[in-house]
């Protein structure tokens, strides 16, 4: 497996992966990433939302099988965004590897990392908790995903 920064040719496959997973999870609804304007042009989004990056997970055949990113949220807080991996590659530790890569990059510019998720996504919630994210009772002001009902934050240390 290879992890690299998103490129323009990755946009359509990531769009399809993210929307497919959200449909499978019954979260293909307004107020989720399903309707994000940036979903069709993620590479450009992360190019213009600095400091931030989106990393893609590429299998041995060169196929993009998932990814995750971070972008500015508020002040010294960035947001973990769009962590999606196709089902065949789940349960192998790749989400954790992507998140650790994001922690390393994000701590160069931010003090905390925030995320929004949904209670349906129990495996994701467990992963986030195991990686040191703490639950919040409400979203941080500026949240765009109104359907999300779980909010978490983690201090980034140098």
CA distance 24 to 56: 21
Q: What is the pLDDT of residues 33-57, one digit of tens each?
A: 888 888 899 999 999 999 999 999 9
CA distance 143 to 36: 12
Q: Which pTM value belongs to this model?
A: 0.92
CA distance 18 to 22: 6
Residue 32: count other Cβ atoms within 10 Å of its Cβ. Answer: 19
Closest to 51 measured CA to CA, from 33, 69, 37, 68: 69
C-alpha 16: how far from chain center: 15
Q: For residue 46, what are its two tokens?
A: 């992360």
Q: What average pLDDT does the segment 49-70 reach?
A: 97
Sign of CA dihedral 39, 156, 144, 120: positive
Total structural domains within the chain: 1
Domain with 64 in it: what CATH number?
3.40.630.30
Domain residues for the domain of 98 are 2-155
69 contacts 102 by C-beta, under 8 angstroms = yes
Q: What is the pLDDT of residues 110-151, one digit of tens each?
A: 999 999 998 888 899 999 999 999 999 999 987 765 678 899
Closest to 106 measured CA to CA, from 71, 141, 133: 71
């Amino acid at each position: 497996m290879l992890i690299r920064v998103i490129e323009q040719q990755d946009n359509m496959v990531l769009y399809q992966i993210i929307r497919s997973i959200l449909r499978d999870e019954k979260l293909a609804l307004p107020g989720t990433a399903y309707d994000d304007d940036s979903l069709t042009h993620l590479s450009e989004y992360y190019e213009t939302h600095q400091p931030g990056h989106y990393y893609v997970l590429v299998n041995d055949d060169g196929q993009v099988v998932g990814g995750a990113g971070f972008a500015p949220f508020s002040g010294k807080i960035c947001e973990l965004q769009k962590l999606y991996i196709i089902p065949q590659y789940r349960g192998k530790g790749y989400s954790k590897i992507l998140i650790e890569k994001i922690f390393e990059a994000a701590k160069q510019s931010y003090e905390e990392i925030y995320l929004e998720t949904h209670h349906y996504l129990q495996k994701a919630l467990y992963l986030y908790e195991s990686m040191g994210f703490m639950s919040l009772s409400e979203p941080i002001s500026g949240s765009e995903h109104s359907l999300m009902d779980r909010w978490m934050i983690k201090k980034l240390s140098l």
